Amino acid sequence: MCGIVGYLGSQSAVPILLNCLKQLEYRGYDSAGIAILNGDDLTVAKSAGKISFLENMLQEEGIPESHVGIGHTRWATQVRPTDLNSPPDTGCTSNFAVVHNGIIENYQAIKEWLQKEGHSFVSETDAEVLPHLVEHFYQGDLETAVLEVINRVEGSYAMMVFTHKEPRKLVAARKDSPLIMGLGEKEYFLASDIPAILSYTRQAYILEDGEVAVLKPEGAYILDWKGLPVDKAIFKVEWDAAAAEKAGYDHFMRKEMHEQPRALKDTLSSRISLDNRYVQLNEVSLTPQQIKDFTRIKMVGCGTAYHAGIVGKYLIEKLVRIPVEVDIASEFRYRDPLLDERTLVVVISQSGETADTLAALREAKRKGARVLAVTNVVGSSISREADDVLYTWAGPEIAVASTKAYTTQLICMYLLGLYLAQVRRTLSEEEIATMITHLRQLPQQVQMILNREQQIKKLAETYTRSELENIFFIGRGLDYAVAMEGSLKLKEITYIHAEAYAAGELKHGTFALIEEGFPIIALGTQESLLEKTVNNVKELKARGATVIGLALKGDTQLQECVDEIIYLPRTHNDLTSILAVIPLQLLAYYAAVTRGTNVDQPRNLTKAVTVE
Per rule CB under 6 A, is residue 585 in the interface with ligand AGP? Answer: no
Give me the least distance between CB of 122 and ligand AGP, in Å please.
34
Note whether 357 binds ligand AGP by CB under 6 A.
yes
Q: 337 preceded by cis ω (within 30°)? A: no
Cβ-based nearer residue to ligand AGP, 197 or 493: 493
CA dihedral (333, 337, 343, 346) positive or negative: negative
Segments of 217-351 assigned E as strands: 219-223, 229-230, 235-236, 296-301, 324-328, 343-349
Residues 252-281 binding ligand AGP (CB under 6 A) are none
**Interface with ligand AGP, residue 482, by CB under 6 A:** no
Of 17 and 490, which CB lies nearer to ligand AGP in the complex structure?
A: 490
Which three-class secondary structure state does DSSP give residue 86?
A: coil
Quick one: 71 or 396, whose CB is closer to ligand AGP? Answer: 396
By the rule CB under 6 A, 609 interacts with ligand AGP: yes
* Positions in 174-213 near ligand AGP (CB under 6 A): none
Q: Which residue in the set 4, 302, 439, 584 belongs to the binding site for ligand AGP (CB under 6 A)?
A: 302
How does strand 235-236 pair with strand 296-301?
unpaired
- Taking CB positions, which residue lies at the least distance from ligand AGP? 303
Q: How far is the CB of 77 from ligand AGP (least distance, A)?
A: 17
Is the CB of 274 or the CB of 605 nearer to ligand AGP?
605
Across 13-128, where does the E strand assignment appear?
31-38, 41-48, 68-74, 89-90, 96-104
Instruction: Tell the smallest beta-carbon distance from residue 297 to ligand AGP (Å).
Output: 19
Q: How far is the CB of 566 from ligand AGP (least distance, A)?
A: 21
Strand partners, 190: 6, 181
479 binds ligand AGP (CB under 6 A): no
- Please count the residues of this chain forming the interface with ligand AGP, following the rule CB under 6 A: 15
Return the beta strands (E) in 528-601 as ranges. 546-552, 564-568
Closer residue to ligand AGP (CB): 30 or 256: 256
Q: Contact region for ligand AGP (CB under 6 A) — 201-209, 246-254, 344-352, 464-472?
A: 344-352
92 part of the active site: no
- Output the smallest distance, CB 445 to ligand AGP, in A: 22
The answer to whether 487 contacts ligand AGP (rule: CB under 6 A) is: no
- Local structure of 524: helix, strand or coil: strand
To ligand AGP, the closest distance from the beta carbon of 252 in angstroms equals 12
Smallest distance, Å, CB 221 to ligand AGP? 44
Order of all β-strands in the sheet with 370-375: 324-328, 296-301, 343-349, 370-375, 388-391
CA 184/CA 13 separation, integer angstroms: 14
Span interacting with ligand AGP, options 10-18, 46-54, 360-368, 400-408, rule CB under 6 A: 400-408
Nearer CB in complex with ligand AGP: 542/605: 605
- Residue 303 binds ligand AGP, judged by CB under 6 A: yes
Separation in Å, CA 225 to CA 211, 220, 228:
6, 16, 7
Max distance between CA atoms of the chain, in angstroms, equals 80
Given 350, 381, 533, 536, the residue binding ligand AGP (CB under 6 A): 350
DSSP string, 115-183: HHTT----SS-STTHHHHHHHHH-SS-HHHHHHHHHTT--EEEEEEEEETTSTT-EEEEEESS--EEEE
- Does 400 engage in binding with ligand AGP (CB under 6 A)? yes
The CA–CA distances, whole Å, from 151 to 4, 135, 211 equal 21, 15, 11
To ligand AGP, the closest distance from the beta carbon of 520 in angstroms equals 22
Q: Please, which of residues 402-421 interact with ligand AGP by CB under 6 A?
A: 402
* CA distances to 110, 133, 149 from 117, in Å: 10, 11, 16
* Residue 351 found at the interface with ligand AGP (CB under 6 A): yes
How far apart are alpha carbons 15 and 54 in whole angstroms? 12
Q: Which of 193, 195, 160, 189 is nearest to 174 (CA)?
A: 160
Phi-psi region of 218 (alpha: psi -120 to 50; beta: other; left: phi over 0): alpha
Binds ligand AGP by CB under 6 A, chosen from 73, 90, 354, 533: 354
Among 375, 417, 382, which residue's Cα sits nearest to residue 397?
375
- Segment near ligand AGP (CB under 6 A); pick from 7-15, 292-300, 347-355, 549-557: 347-355
Of the candidates 2, 20, 412, 561, the residue annotated as catalytic is 2
Does residue 247 interact with ligand AGP by CB under 6 A?
A: no
Residue 195 beta carbon to ligand AGP: minimum distance, rounded to whole angstroms: 24
The answer for residues whose C-beta is within 8 angstroms of residue 336's C-beta and 6 or more apart is none
- Residue 33 backbone phi and psi in degrees, to 5: -170, 160
Known catalytic residue: 2? yes
330 lines the binding site for ligand AGP (CB under 6 A): no
Instruction: Pick between residue 181 and residue 599 the one whose CB is nearest to ligand AGP.
Output: 599
Nearer to ligand AGP, 125 or 381 (CB): 381
Kindly list the distances between the CA atom of residue 342 and the CA atoms of 370, 374, 412, 527, in Å, as whole numbers in the listed order. Answer: 8, 19, 21, 34
**Residues of the shown chain interacting with ligand AGP in the complex, contacts defined by CB under 6 A:** 302-305, 349-351, 354, 357, 400-402, 492, 608-609
Which residues are known to be catalytic?
Answer: 2, 607
